[in-house]
Structure formats: structure tokens, C-alpha cells
Structure 1
Amino acid sequence: MIALGIATASVIMFVGTGGTLMPQIARAWFWGGSAPDMLLINAVLLNIALLLFGWRRYRDLHAEVEVRRRAEERARELAERDPLTGCLNRRSGPPAMENLRRSVAETQREIAVMMIDLDNFKQINDLNGHQMGDTVLSTVARRIADVLPDEAILARIGGDEFACALPFDYHAREDVDDIVDLVIRTVSAPIEANRLTVEATVSIGVAQSGRAYEPQQVADAEALIHRADIAMYHAKKRGRNRYYWFEPQMEDELRFRNELEAGIRQGIAADEFVPFYEQQIDLETGKLSGFEMLARWKSPRYGIVSPEIFIPIAEEIDLISELSERLIRQALEDAKDWDPGLTLSVNISPVQLRDPWFAQKLLHLLVESGFPPARLEIEITESCLHENIGAVRSIVSSLKNQGIRISLDDFGTGYSSLSQLRSLPFDRLKIDRSFVAEMAAGGEGRTLVEAIISLGKGLSLPVTAEGIESDEVLGQLKGMGEMKGQGYLYGLPEDASTTRDRLARLGMLKDTSVSVSAEAVQALHPQRRAS
């Protein structure tokens, strides 16, 4: 404005001085009149210079302001848009959704907020590289945007999380179901880039506005995103590649889960997780042959918690390795004084087998405790064989080389092949308890158990039957050949102190080691004696 004012003033001054000077110059040139005043000439020349300077300065400043305006627009766009996918980001998405909610609040429509999370995106990144991961994200975002209605808002909330809001008629919630189904089908189509092909799936949670859940309170966009996120987590827990509408009880479940997570973290630090021991019996002789270590959580708040509850959570929050190592260390200490003929079996999580240093960590625990490797048996499940067979083979071979025995646990419930059983150096098959339980009901369990036992004989692999809970089942198993067995028929799992007392009565501690008869074992199982 100052530059423009200087230019304008120069124009006015030029008109004033030029109006006097120009006639004098014309008379001097054409009619021989007197020369104009030099002071006046200098004033005009100076005026012309100021005019040129002011106009040029004004034009430069105008260009500078335009560049700055474009830069501010670009900065605003970067602040509101995700540069990879072009979607709104976490900062701008929720306000836009809130504006949409308010705009339809006075009509018969509501908005549905969807939280969309890519399943196993970390694995896609790790296996195919971050460039392919970026391609997957941008492709998924484009596919989602293509199937959403024009009024919908799409935002990238996190690394592999998207949120979108779309209006719908209160009485036509099935329209949202159709769109969500279309999103799932569209996203799951193969993505090809850089001579690679990736198939991505999504888990979706959906929440609606209005007073459907809290009649006295209308949820804003942030609350709807939170509810949709809870429903999305529920979808992941139910198997992924699906969607769920938010229900109030989901929030209660998530709150309880968060409390369990906090309790597990505190419990590990406070040594609240302890090993229990379940007896393993030679079915032919009735003698005690060893124990399987089972984890228990002695929580001051929840009491004795089963591993079926806390193990999956510990795996998800990446604490299973620390928890397992603490339990194994304690179990090795407990078992050092047992009779040298007794074995100790411990279960290993699939998460631990992804750790290339797992074998070294386990060997370190053995050296630290002085426990003989030949008395230790590691149990892995069939599901481990399908995640990374190469890594599993390397770890299993390393453990075998140190004298540790390896059992394939829950055999029959997974998809292991004969080639895997032949290529991996297993020492034992454990029949899943579900097949053993079916034997008592007269179903197909007996046929399956016989087939597994026959397979074990053909591969020279001893067999252990889990879940023996009745004499009827025990009698059937005895007729199928030599094997070990375990189950509640022989008593519930016991803590270290009770187990030690049991072994002391049997004379199966190192300092009182004697042979044990089948009658002595029978004497410790009153429920069997009564039957």
C-alpha cells in the first residue's frame, strides 16, 4: 500500500510539474523561446524516477504477497491433508465429521462413522518393504473413496487406520451395511506393484450418531470415532476381515481388557505368575513319568486366573517372552530336586518362536539353573509350523542339538503335513484333549485317536494323550498301545509346594530316590480308588 501510494503521489506530482514544464519545452524547441527552468526540469526527472521506483516496488511486493499466499495455502493443505493418500488427517478429519453431523442433525438422517484398520499391515511392510506398504495404503484409500457416497468424509487417522463418516436415513441402516460390505470386498482385491502382489484385508467398526445408545446425550464426532474404534477392535478379535456395529457392552469388555493389561504388567513385576504342574503318567505301568508346567496368575484382585485368559493378552502386548522366561526359570529351579527320571514339559508361544535368539535364551536358563537339557521337553503347537517353517526348523534343530526334546502339541487341530512331521525332528506327538473327550461320547474321537497313534508308530514318535478325565477313556487308551497320558483323572495341576510334597511321599526327590510302584501312584489318586 505504501509503494502504491508513492507511485500514485508521483503520478500526481508529474501531472502538476509536467503541465508547466512541457509547454516551455515546446516553445523553446519549436519557436525559439527561452529555456525552461533547470530546477523544474530536475524536479520532473526526479518525479519520473520516483514513479518508476514506486511502480516497480509495488509490482514486486504484489508478486511476493502472491507467493506467500500460495505458500500459506500449501501449508494449510499439508496441515489438513495426508500427503500419501490425499485424505484428511487426524487434525482435520474429526472437525469435518462433526460439521457433517451437525448439518444433518435437523433432518431425519444421521451419520455413520467407520473405523477401518488394515489387517496384518506390519507383516506386509516387513515382507515387502515400506515402498510397497505405501502403495498399499494409497491404493486402499483410493478404493475406499471410490465406493463412498459424495457426501462422505474420509480421513487417515493413523498409520494404517482410516475413518470415514457418511450420512444415512435413520430407518435405512442396511444402506450402511451394504457400503461396508462393498468396502471390504473392494479393498480385498489383489494389489500389484513393483512385480509384487499383495492382498490386504480390513477390519471395520461402525458407530451411528443420534441417541441410539445414550438417550440423554448426543455423541460428537470424537465420541463416534472412539466407539467405532472399539467395534473395530471387536471385529479383529472375532477373526478380522469383517465388521461390527458398536454396542455398549463392547466398551465394558474393552475397559475390562485394559484393566487386565495393566494387571498383567504389574503382575509380572510383582512375580504374581507362578508355575503349576500337571502329572504325566505312563499308561501301561501307571508310573509317574513327569510333569507339564502350566502358567497360573495368582492375582490379588482376580484370584487364580487361567492361562486361556491372560496368555493371548500377553502375546498381543508383547510381554509373553518375558512372562514365559520368568516361569521357565522358576520351573527349572523347582524341578532340579525331582527324581532324575522325571521330565519337565513347557509350552512355548508362537510369538517366542519368531525370536531368532529364543534357543540361546533357553539354553542360558538351563545353564543358569543347572537343569539337565535331556529332562526338558519343549511343546510347540501346529500353528507355529505355518508362520515361518524355516525359522521354526532352525530353532528346533538348535534345541535338539543341545539334548532338549521337542513335542508337537495339540496334534490334529492344525494343518501340519506329513512332510513337516518328517522334516522336523519331533520327539513326541500330543493328542489334543478335544479328541480324547469325544471318546467318552462314542463319537469319531476314538477313530481319530487311533489314526494319530498309528501315525506316531509309523513315524517312530511316542504319543501323549491329553484330557483323560474318566476310567472309561483310560481303558480305551490302554488298549491302543504304549503311551503317556495326563488329565484331571490324575488330579488337578498343583503348585510347586504341593507337587514337592507329592514327590516326597512317593520318594521321588533326589535325596530319597527309590523306585515307585503302580500301587503307590494309585494311593495318591483317591478319586480313582473310589471309582
Structure 2
Amino acid sequence: MTEHGPDNPLETAERDIIALGIAVAAIIMLIATGGSVLPKALDALLGNSRTPDVLLINALLLNIALVIFGWRRYRDLTHEIAERKRAEHQARLLAATDPLTMCLNRRSMAEATEQVRQRAVVAGEAVAYCMIDLDNFKQINDMHGHTNGDAVLVTLAERVRSLLPRDARLARLGGDEFAFVMSYPVGHTDRIDDLVIRLFESVAQPFALPELTIELTMSIGLATDHDGEGSTETAIDAATLMHRSDMALYHAKKQGRNCYFWFEPSMENELRFRNQIETGLRRGLTQGEFVPFYEQQVDLESGELVGFEMLARWQSPQLGLVSPEIFIPIAEEIGLITELSEQLMDQAFANAREWDDSLSLSINISPVQLRDPWFAQRLLKKLVAANLPPPRLEIEITESCLHENVGLVRSMITSLRNQGVQISLDDFGTGYSSLEQLRSLPFDRIKIDRSFISELRQPNGRSRIVDAIISLGRGLNLPLTAEGVEDEEILTALKSMGRLKAQGYFYGKPENAEEVRERLRAAGKLAAVNDRPAAEVLPETPAARPLYRIARP
């Protein structure tokens, strides 16, 4: 029902027949009665005649009262109608507008986009839909409070609005996500590019709040209803434009953020593949499709096998053997990495119990897992349940983990080391570790990233970075492991640099549990599980490093 509909109650109230009838009748009667009574009353006052009929006087007074009543009723009614109209207008405004930034909201943006598109069709123009998302905005709310976060959003909306043409429509879709839609001459996407560049320059300016200054970046996804040749694509509506710009925004986020991309059809295939991965991850966790593979770790000096690093593999019935570089980042994003990692650890701990005591097991830990303050306790419980001595386990932590919450990471590292678990710093040199962190955090080993090890293929067989890392390890009394040993040339160069552990395809590709079992059986390093005493984790004490004890039968 619209405001101007035929059955609108406000319009009906404005034409209130009862109030109008009372007022008109009262006026007519007042004229008729007054015309008879007033001359007689005037003559009576002058002493020229008798007093008028009392009944007529009462009728006159009643008419006056009716006129006043009708006028007041009509006045009050029109005032109430005006208030209700203002309330309805405010309600429609609130329903269509974000109350914080006074932009359109998600619901009204679809209608506004369709209106812009229809006008553009009539004018022979194209339409661009732009989706904006602030990078890492959640950290601002967490660190500085939602009040400052809201102030940033208001300022951002003002900056964007000031750069848009008058006929563009700006909306806040939710949280820190904004969008605008506008028309532009067909074939001139460069105008949109120029506008987006100005938006980046504007957002790059610090957000000066009363108590602090905040610097931000943003990512942008763009879509248009015309193809690269300037032809109109069929079946392009507001929902399709929004969906495509969202895919372009996702691509911008994936490419490192603080950038923008126009939608391309390949992005849709990429997103469809990602959705397939997400669905497969959830199904695979319930079906037991994730299995550990093991890469050999060898002592360079003796050439002896000293342990294995566990690598995650996904044996998907639909996709085949999926690389962890594909599914691990997605599992982290959708919150499945902890469940996935714990499933793999349960299998790996059971497998390692069959190995000789001299063989260690290395496991990579995701930064997401280290945000959980109970991670160390759950890991130790799994070791007890698997009857695996803690000193045989080595946890590998990447440098990126050290910058999210150093205090929490230090607490967990200390807790694990106090029970005998070894801690290594993985992919050293690719992140932002400082010497202070290496000195203060209790690491047991440094792993040199494979990107640096590959430099040993140079003619002189040396790498300044590898030399520097090895010298640093010696100075801090930290053993080192070299990743990515692929050929004899790299192996020879490493042997000249001191005592190291090494791993890589030179020693063989990662193997599943059964292949490792056969390898160890042939080497005489497969132990009988039933002959093993159980490992019991001791409670933490103030002592430096209390280890485990063997629970004798």
C-alpha cells in the first residue's frame, strides 16, 4: 500500500466527512439562527423590543460551540496526519538507509542499482558496480573499540561520497563493506579506473580521530554490464552485478589486498572451485579422507635417517590427491584447520609409535591453532593417549605466528618444552623474526627455507644468506635443518657448512604410513608397540625443563 493509494487511511482521514459535515452544518445553522436572533438581541439591548426567544439564543450558542468543535477537530486531525506522514517518511528512510553512515543499506541498494541501470539503458550508457572492503578492519574494533571503528566508517563514507558523481548511489552493505553503482560512457572504463585510483589515494590518508590516528587500506572489486568490446551482456541485473563484483573483490583479497580487479569469467570458475574445496573439506573430515605423508629427515654428517616431517595429504574421491598448498589456506579461513590438524596428529602419533625411539616426528602448526590458549594442553593429552614420548615430537612454528600474540605463543612454547616437546622455527628468513625474538623465545632448532637452499646451485656453491643463517645458529647454539635438498650439488654444498639435518626430494618423495613402515622394516628401525612402556606427562613445575617419565608396568 503506497502513500498515494486509493485506500490510504491518511488520505481518508484528510477527507473526514463527519468533521466536515459538522463544521458545514454548524456554519449554516449559525448563519440562519444568527440572522434571526442577533437583530432582536441588539434591539433588546437598545430597549426597542422584548428579549429574543431563549430557545433561539441557546441554538445560536450551540451553533457557535459546534463551529469551534468542528474547527478544533479538523485542526487536530490535520496535525496528527502530518505527524504520521513524517513518521512514515522516517520509517521508510530508516528501512532504506544505514543509520550510521546515512548511505543506502543492502536491501535498498538492489533497487537503486536497478534504477541506475534502467536510466543507463535509456541514455545508452554502461553501468559499473563497485564493492569496497576495508582490509583487517576487525583489528581496529578489537584494538581501539567499536566507537572508533564506527568513526572510521563514517569518515570513509564521507570520503567516498565526496568523490562520486551526483547520480551515483552509495551503500553500506554491512560491517566494513561498501558499494556504489554509477553509469559511464560505453567503452570508457578508464573513467572508473581513475575514480578508483582517487579512492585509494583518499583512503590512504590517515583517519584522524580525537584520540588516535588510524591508517587503513582497502580492496575493491568491479563489475560492469558491458563486455570488453562495449556490447551489453544479456541477463545482467542488479543481483548479477553485485555477485560479480563480490567475486572480483575476493580475487583482490587473495592477491594480497590493497588493490582492485575487474570481474573476469575465470574468477567465477575459481570461486566455484573454492566452493567445491570447502564442501569437500567438510565431507572429507567426516569420511577420513585426510592422511599423513612423511618426508625423511637425514643427518648430513652420518647419512642416517633421524626422523620424518608429517605432511598433510587429501585423498579426495572427486578431486584425487589434493596438494596442501590448495586446501590448507582454505581450511584456515573457514575454521576447519584445528579439526583437520588434530585428525592428522592422531594418525601420525599412532604411526610414530611403531618407529624406533631414535626417530623423531615433526609437525607443522598453523597460526590459527596458536591463537587457542588450550592448544598445548590438548596436544599433550594426545601424546599421552597415543603413548608417544614428548621428546620424540618436534613442533614447527612459522615466523608469522610470532607477530599475532607473542605473549601467548611464548607461554605455549614454554609449556610444551617443559614437557620435553622440541620447538623449531620453520621457514626462517622468509618472515619478520628479529634477533630479540630468537634470543628470548625458547626455540630448539631453526629450519632454513628451501628458497635459500636453492641458491646453493650457484657456480661457487655458496649462498650468503645460508652462510649467515648457519653462523647465526652457531652463535645462538641452535641446531639447523635445511629444507629443499633436491640434488647432489646442494647436498655437497651443505656438507661443507657443518653439521645439519636435511630433507628434500633427493632422499625420496613423501611416503604414506605403509610405505614408511616398509622402509623402516627393511632398515631394522621398526619397533614392536606392545613392548613399549607408556609415556606419562608430568605436571609443570618451576624447574627449567622437567621431562617425561616411563611408567613401568
Q: State the TM-score, normalizing by the size of structure 1.
A: 0.93
Residue equivalent to 2:303 = 286
- Listed as ranges, the matches of 1:16-415 within 5 Å are 16-212=32-228, 217-415=234-432
Mapped to 2, the partners of 1:352 and 1:172 lie a distance apart of: 48
State whether residues 209 and 218 of structure 1, in contact with CA within 8 Å, keep that contact through their aligned partners in structure 2.
no
Residue 123 of structure 2 aligns to a residue in which SS? coil
Match of 1:460 among 469, 477, 482: 477
Q: Is the 2:391–2:420 contact (alpha carbons within 8 Å) kept by the matching residues of 1?
A: yes
Q: 1:426 aligns with which of 409, 432, 443?
A: 443
Deviation at residue 337 of structure 1 after TM alignment? 2.0
Q: Which moved more, 1:274-283 or 1:443-452?
A: 443-452
1:444 deviates by 8.1
Q: Is the CA contact 2:383–2:390 (under 8 Å) kept in the aligned structure 1?
A: yes
Give the number of aligned pairs. 513
Contact 1:210 1:218 (C-alpha < 8 Å) held by counterparts? no
- 8 Å contact kept, 2:225–2:232: no
* SS of match in other structure, 1:92: helix
- The percent identity for this pair of structures is 58
Q: Structure 1 unaligned runs (5+)?
A: 514-531
Which moved further from structure 2: 302-311 or 42-51?
Answer: 42-51
The 3 A distance-change label for structure 1 pair 209 and 155 is same
Alignment equivalent of 1:448, drawn from 465, 469, 473? 465
Secondary structure of the residue aligned to 2:122 is coil
After TM superposition, the structure 1 stretch with the greater mean CA deviation from structure 2, 443-452 or 461-470, is 443-452
Aligned partners of 2:238 and 2:250: how far apart in 1? 18
Q: Residues of 1 paired with 2:170 and 2:462: CA distance?
A: 51
Alignment of 1:5-16 (within 5 A): 5-16=21-32
Q: Counterpart amino acid of 1:307? A: P
Q: Distance in 1 between matches of 2:373 and 2:341?
A: 16
* Map of 1:529 onto structure 2: none
State the match for 1:518 in structure 2.
none
1:461 offset after TM fit, Å?
0.5
Q: 1:326-376: CA deviations, max 9, x gaps?
A: 111221111112111111100011111122222122122222222111111
Q: For 1:355 and 1:512, how far apart are their aligned partners in 2?
A: 32
> What are the Cα deviations for residues 468-491 of structure 1, in whole angstroms up to 9, with x where unaligned?
111221122111111111111111
Deviation at 1:462, TM superposition (A): 0.5
CA contact (8 A) 2:129 2:222 kept: yes
Task: Quote the Cα distance in structure 2 between the aligned partners of 1:25 and 1:446.
Answer: 123
Aligned residue number for residue 526 of structure 2: 509
Residue type of the alignment partner of 1:258 = N
- Structure 2 equivalent of residue 516 of structure 1: none
Are 2:462 and 2:493, in contact at CA under 8 Å, matched by a contact in 1?
A: no
Deviation at 1:445, TM superposition (A): 5.8
User: Which shifted more, 132-141 or 500-509?
Assistant: 500-509
Instruction: For 2:237 and 2:359, locate their aligned partners in 1 and report how far apart those are by CA, in whole Å.
Output: 62
**Hey, what's the Cα distance between the residues in 2 that align with 1:240 and 1:167?**
26
1:298-326 per-position Cα deviation (integer Å, ceiling 9, x unaligned): 10011111101100111111111111111
Deviations 1:408-462 (CA, angstroms, capped at 9, x unpaired): 1111111211111101111001111112222124388633222211111111000
The amino acid across from 2:319 in the alignment is Y
> Structure 1, residues 503-524: CA drift from partner, whole Å, max 9, x if none?
12222122399xxxxxxxxxxx
Q: Give the 3 Å change call, closer, same or farther, for CA 55–196 of structure 1 in structure 2.
A: same
Does the CA-based 8 Å contact 2:353-2:529 persist in structure 1? no
**Which residue of the partner structure matches residue 523 of structure 1?**
none
* C-alpha spacing 1:445/1:173, structure 2 compared with 1 (3 Å): farther
C-alpha deviation, 1:192, in angstroms:
2.4
> Conserved in 2, the CA contact under 8 Å of 1:13 and 1:47?
yes
- Contact 1:343–1:377 (8 Å) recurs in 2: yes
Distance in 1 (alpha carbons) for counterparts of 2:232 and 2:71:
66
Q: Distance in 2 between matches of 1:220 and 1:285?
A: 68
Alignment gaps of 5+ in structure 2? 1-15, 531-553
Matches of 1:457 and 1:10 in 2, distance apart? Answer: 109
TM-score normalised by the chain length of structure 2:
0.90
**CA deviation after TM superposition for structure 1 residue 71, in Å:** 0.5
Secondary structure of the corresponding residue to residue 141 of structure 2 = helix
Whether the 8 Å CA contact 2:225–2:233 is kept in 1: the answer is no
In structure 2, relative to structure 1, the CA distance for the partners of 1:511 and 1:145 (3 Å cut) is: same
Contact kept? 1:204, 1:242, Cα under 8 Å: yes
TM superposition shift of 1:110: 1.2
SS in 1 for 2:486: coil
Distance 1:337 1:171 in 2: 67
RMSD, aligned α-carbons: 1.7
SS at match of 1:91: helix
Matches of 1:377 and 1:40 in 2, distance apart? 111
The one of 427, 432, 452 equivalent to 1:435 is 452
